[in-house]
Each structure stands twice: as structure tokens, then as C-alpha cells.
Amino acid sequence: MEERLKSHYESLTRAIRFVRAADTKAAPVLGLQIALVGTLAARSDKLLNIVMESWDIESAVLVTLIVLYSIFLVAVVAFAALVYVPMNPRTGKSLIYFEDIASMDYEHFESRAKDMSTAAIESHLLDQIHRVSKIASVKMWRVRCAFILSAPASVLWTVLLAWGTMG
């Protein structure tokens, strides 16, 4: 049983590492998109002049590109930012999850923890592995979406930046 508990603990540790990895991967995506939009904002006067001067094909294409870029930008930022949204609600039952432990007074926690059988410890560990693995999976999916959506956003940014520097 002790070997199983050790294996479960290692599984929980791996799942926690994946949660941290998703958090770490989301930060550069957010930073990159914010930096890109900042450089584009510096050229916005030129782009707005093109749109405002006269309504023609060039203006229509430019507005379409700006709208598409904005949609991709918002999607990338939303997916990357959602990685940081807390996802594991307190149940009040777990003797492993920090929010549940913090919600108990110390004497209650101590009593329950000391009275736990090995089977109960294993059950709590397995529950936590399952919960953290779900969190890691959702976070990684969100990071993947942010990375994928960054590609067209970056291409549109490049086109808009080039347009804003022409002439």
C-alpha cells in the first residue's frame, strides 16, 4: 500500500507540474499580444487617416483586416487569460486540497487527518489527482487555443503594421 501511495503522490505532483506549465506558457502569449497591439497603436493615426479620407476598396479592406485582427486578438487574450482563472471550488471534504484544509478549523483538520485510514488517504489522493488533472487538461487546452489563434493574429498584425508604415 505504501508503494501505491507513493505512486499516487508522484502522479499528483506531475499533474501539478502541468498546471504550472500551462500558467508559464500563457504568460508569453499575453505579453507578446500586448506588445504587438502597442506597436500597432503607435501607427493607428496613419491607418485611421486611410479609413477616414475616403471610403473606397482600400478603406474597406483595411477596416476588414482591423476587425479580423481585433477578433483574433480578443480571442487570444481571452484564452490566455482564462488559464489564470481559479477552477477548483472548495468542497470542504478534502484533506489534501489547500482550500478545503484552510476552511476547517485546526482541531477538526487535525482530528480528521489523524483518524484517516490508509485507504482513506489513498481515496483523497486519487480524488485530488483526478481534480488537478482535469484542471491541467483545461488549462493546456486554453493555452493551445491561444497559441493557435496567435498565428493568424500575428499575420494580420504584420499586414496592418506594414500598411501603417507605407507612404
Reported as a single tens digit per residue, the pLDDT across 32-52 is 999 999 988 887 887 777 778
Report how far Cα 83 is from the mean position of its chain's Cα atoms: 2
Residue 167: predicted pLDDT? 52
Are the CB atoms for 144 and 63 separated by under 8 Å? Answer: no
Is the pLDDT confidence value at 89 over 80?
A: no
Distance, in Å, from the CA atom of 146 to the CA atom of 135, rounded to the nearest integer, reads 17
Length of the chain: 167
Q: How far apart are CA 32 and CA 72, in angstroms?
A: 13
Confidence at residue 147, expressed as pLDDT on a 0 to 100 scale: 95
